[in-house]
Amino acid sequence: MTAGLRTQLVAALGGDHVEDVELGFRVSPGSAAEVAEVVRRAADARAAIHPVGAGGRIATDLDPARVRIFVSTHRLDQVLQLDEASLLVHAQVGLRGSDLEHVLAPRNLTLGDYPASMLASSIGGILAVRTPGKSSARHGFFEDAVVGVSAVLADGRSVHTRVAPRRATGPDLARVLCGSEGTIGVLTSAVLRIHARPEARLVAAYLLPSIDAAVSAVYLALREECSPSGLRIYDAPQAATHFDGLVLPAGQALLCAATAGPTDLATCDRDLVTSAVVAEGGHATDIALAELWWRRVQDGDVHSTSHVQLQAMATPPRLRAVYRAAIAAVPGARAHISRFDADGAVLFLGWDDDTPRAHEAARHAVTSAGGWLLGSRAEKWNSYLRELRAALDPHQVMNPGTLAT
């Protein structure tokens, strides 16, 4: 059985692109048609399909009774079409967001002001897994930038959702595939909205009397329709960690802001933040802090994520309470708040005493205060997702075990 499947996969993809791994095979199809061929072979053999993105991580905690085909998308790395008139790009899913940015940049185009850490993933990975923070205040949620997707379903059929700026022809069918973590189909390409690179980019740094005041200033500015490309609030301990030697008076907060767009609009947005900060009792401070922050964000933001033990999401009214609860729960905890969008913002929490007890205390504090831990599942929809999968994939070929009860 396994040998026969191997022969079929080699016939379909060539020997260079089929590799024996624990539990089965790792295959690297070079086209959407080859993905469809792999899925058909897997379905015939009742093997399971597990898509693997840019991380290349292969799950090994799976039931060994079933043959597993890990489908690496790294060869699906082509830009299929660039429509500069409509600002749309059709790209294969194995391409990393950052690679796509390199293609777009010389043409004065960009995917948008999304976190560099998000763009380090493959397009497929970004789209397949829904987590908060894949967003920017200026360009919205990344999932809303998806105009259409192509995917291979469990029966080997290819689907291409229709591309249109907006539609009223039933549900947005691309959303069946986005966020379903490979359980409905293997994504092969996506049509994404892109943007012209901004004429101007400005940054600014501010000191505020408290985290509460900083959060209030942010929402005051957003309410005035300020549309920044980045915002980050640091508490005093986190600011000390991130900016060597920076000492803020205890309880104070550092706010960094970046704005972009036509020069007048970028200036207007920065001035709106400044006004909001002043209204909340703060003032502008050394712009070099903001320049360093923004440079690091552009370089992948490794500096800020390397000291983070826990990420949590909170809606605007809960943000302050979730922050306070988490800081109180773990001795020596520090935090920055980033990725402000219409849903809320993400708290990045760090502490030195990295024990399971500290983790548990922080998690408990976050959820008790009404925050969300990243990676929670929509449990109440379990039976609906199960039926949806059963209708499309009766033999449970597509990423079995994921998103399941």
Partner 1 sequence: MSPAAAQPIDTDRLLRDLEAIVGPRRVSMRAVDLDVYARDMWPRLLLAHRDGQPPAHRPHAVVWPEHVREVIAVVKLARAERIPIVPYGGGSGVCGGAVPVRGGITIDTKRMQAMRAIHREELICDVEAGLNGERFERELARRGYTFGHFPSSIYCSTVGGWLATRAAGQLSTKYGKVEDRVAGLTLVTGRGELIETDGPNRALRGPSWTQLVLGSEGTLGVITSARLRVSPAPQLRVFRGFEVDDVAHGLLAIRRVVQKGLRPAVVRLYDELDTLINSLSHSDGSEAASELDDVRAPVPPIDTGALPAWPDPNPPKLGVVERLAKLARGGAGLRAGAMNAALGSSELVNRVFGTVAEKVARRGCRLVIGLEGARIRTEVEAALTFAELEAAGARDRGEDPGWAWLRHRYAVSYRMSPVFRDGAFVDTMEVASSWERLGDLYEAVRRAIGRHAVVMAHFSHAYGDGCSIYFTFAATAPDAASAERVYDAIWRDGLDAATRVGATISHHHGVGLLKAPYMAAEHREAMSLFVAVKRSLDPDGVMNPGKMGLP
Q: Site residues for partner 1, window 260-319 (CB under 8 A)?
A: 261-262, 264-265, 268-269, 271-272, 313, 315-317
304 Cβ contact list (under 8 Å, min separation 6)? 242, 296, 336, 338, 348
d(CA 171, CA 7): 40
Binding residues among 358-387 for partner 1 as defined by CB under 8 A: 372-378, 380-381, 384-385, 387
391 lines the binding site for partner 1 (CB under 8 A):
yes
394 lines the binding site for partner 1 (CB under 8 A):
no
The full DSSP string for 162-187 is: PP-SS--SSS-THHHHTTSTTSSEEE
- H/E segment holding residue 36: helix 32-44
Q: Report the Cα 88 to chain-centroid distance in Å.
A: 20
- The residue range among 192-200, 203-211, 278-286, 290-298 that interacts with partner 1, by the rule CB under 8 A, is 192-200
Contact 182, 48 (CB under 8 A): no
Contact 117, 92 (CB under 8 A): no
Among 46, 102, 107, 167, the residue binding partner 1 under the rule CB under 8 A is 167
Among 10, 80, 163, 236, the residue binding partner 1 under the rule CB under 8 A is 163
Among 35, 126, 184, 254, the residue binding partner 1 under the rule CB under 8 A is 184
Token pair belonging to 91 = 């790209």
State the nearest-atom distance from the C-beta of 160 to partner 1, in Å.
7
176 lines the binding site for partner 1 (CB under 8 A):
yes
Binding residues among 90-149 for partner 1 as defined by CB under 8 A: 129-132, 141, 143-144, 147
The full DSSP string for 221-288 is: HHHTT---SEEEEEEHHHHHHHSTT--PPTT-EEEEEEEEESHHHHHHHHHHHHHHHHHTT-EEE-HH
d(CA 106, CA 100): 11
343 lines the binding site for partner 1 (CB under 8 A):
yes
Residue 137: C-alpha distances to residues 117, 170, 277 (Å): 16, 28, 18
Binding residues among 194-213 for partner 1 as defined by CB under 8 A: 195-196, 198
State the nearest-atom distance from the C-beta of 360 to partner 1, in Å.
19
Token pair belonging to 4 = 């026969």
Among 8, 72, 180, 285, the residue binding partner 1 under the rule CB under 8 A is 180
Minimum CB distance to partner 1 smaller for 29 or for 261: 261
Minimum CB distance to partner 1 smaller for 169 or for 306: 169
State the nearest-atom distance from the C-beta of 172 to partner 1, in Å.
4
- The residue range among 7-15, 19-27, 31-39, 258-266 that interacts with partner 1, by the rule CB under 8 A, is 258-266
Token pair belonging to 186 = 């293997």
Binding residues among 214-243 for partner 1 as defined by CB under 8 A: 219, 223-226
404 lines the binding site for partner 1 (CB under 8 A):
no
Question: Residue 25, SS3?
Answer: strand
State the nearest-atom distance from the C-beta of 25 to partner 1, in Å.
27
Length of the chain: 405
Closest by Cα among 207, 288, 212, 277 to 244: 288
330 lines the binding site for partner 1 (CB under 8 A):
no
Among 44, 172, 212, 291, the residue binding partner 1 under the rule CB under 8 A is 172
Binding residues among 10-49 for partner 1 as defined by CB under 8 A: none
- The residue range among 54-62, 157-165, 289-297, 347-355 that interacts with partner 1, by the rule CB under 8 A, is 157-165
Minimum CB distance to partner 1 smaller for 102 or for 167: 167
Look up tokens 């901004």; give the residue. Answer: 198
Token pair belonging to 312 = 């949590």
Residues 43-62: x/- map of binding to partner 1 (CB under 8 A)?
Answer: --------------------
Pairing of strands 48-52, 68-72: parallel
Minimum CB distance to partner 1 smaller for 158 or for 241: 158
Closest by Cα among 280, 333, 345 to 308: 333
Minimum CB distance to partner 1 smaller for 59 or for 246: 59
